[in-house]
Amino acid sequence: MIELVSASRCIECNICVRVCPTNVFDVVADAAPTIARQSDCQTCFLCEAYCPADALFVAADAHRHVEVSEQQLAADGILGSYRRSLGWSPGGDPAALHETAHVLRRMAGPGTIG
């Protein structure tokens, strides 16, 4: 679930409030958005993909809250990593261009279900 809105990185654009499909964030005047309904988070990672400041972190756990350290996540290069892997970071090249499912299909044989 969503575990972090980094106040130091956030630019208060509120894009995450708009794009979150399950409406977990609330706008806060002159501040970073707040995680208002964490249990509604469906762990789809799309807020991270859309965040222009790499200020969000969605943990792998979909069913329980976990503690995270912003410092550690930043040091490990995890903040913004999903956006980068989609090629949505500045200067990035859409990852869809390099999609390799067709190569795998040839390797794994036909009929594999996606």
Partner 1 sequence: MHSDALDLDTDVLVIGGGPAGTWAAWAAAKRGADVILVDKGYCGSSGATAPSGTGVWMVPPVKDDREKAKAQREALGGYLSDHDWMDRVLDRTWRNMDLVESWGYPFPREDGAALRRGLQGPEYMKLMRKVVNRAGVEILDHSPALELLVDRDGAVAGARGVQRQADRPWTIRAGAVVIATGGCAFLSKALGCNNNTGDGYLFAAEAGGELSGMEFSSQFAVSTAFGSVTKTAHYSWAVFTNEAGEDLNAVKDGHYSASTIGRALLSGPVYAQLSKARERPEVQAFLRYAQPNFFLPLDRSGINPFTQRFPVTLTLEGTVRGTGGIRIADGSCASTVPGLYAAGDAATRELICGAFTGGGSHNAAWAMSSGSWAGEGAAEHALELGAGSNARHVSGAGGAGYHDSWASASASDPGADAVIAGVQDEMLPLDKNLFRTELGLRSSLGKLDALWESLRTAHGASARDQQRSRESAALVATARWAYTSALERRETRGMHRRADFPALDPQQQHYQIVSGLERVRLRNEKHAPSIETRVSAAVR
Which residues contact partner 1 (rule: CB under 8 A)? Answer: 17-23, 40, 42-46, 49-50, 59-63, 78, 81-82, 85-86, 88, 94-105, 107-109, 111-114
As measured in angstroms, the least distance from the Cβ of 96 to partner 1 is 4
Q: What is the DSSP string of 41-84?
A: -----HHHHH-TT--EEE-S-SSS-----HHHHHHTT-TTHHHH
As measured in angstroms, the least distance from the Cβ of 74 to partner 1 is 14
- Return the number of the residue (11 or 112) whose C-beta is nearest partner 1: 112
Torsion of CA 56, 92, 86, 40, to 10 degrees: 20
Cα–Cα distance, 109 to 114 (Å, whole number): 13
As measured in angstroms, the least distance from the Cβ of 59 to partner 1 is 7
As measured in angstroms, the least distance from the Cβ of 56 to partner 1 is 13
User: Cα 6 to chain center, whole Å?
Assistant: 13
- Return the number of the residue (10 or 27) whose C-beta is nearest partner 1: 27
- Return the number of the residue (31 or 61) whose C-beta is nearest partner 1: 61
Cα–Cα distance, 17 to 27 (Å, whole number): 7
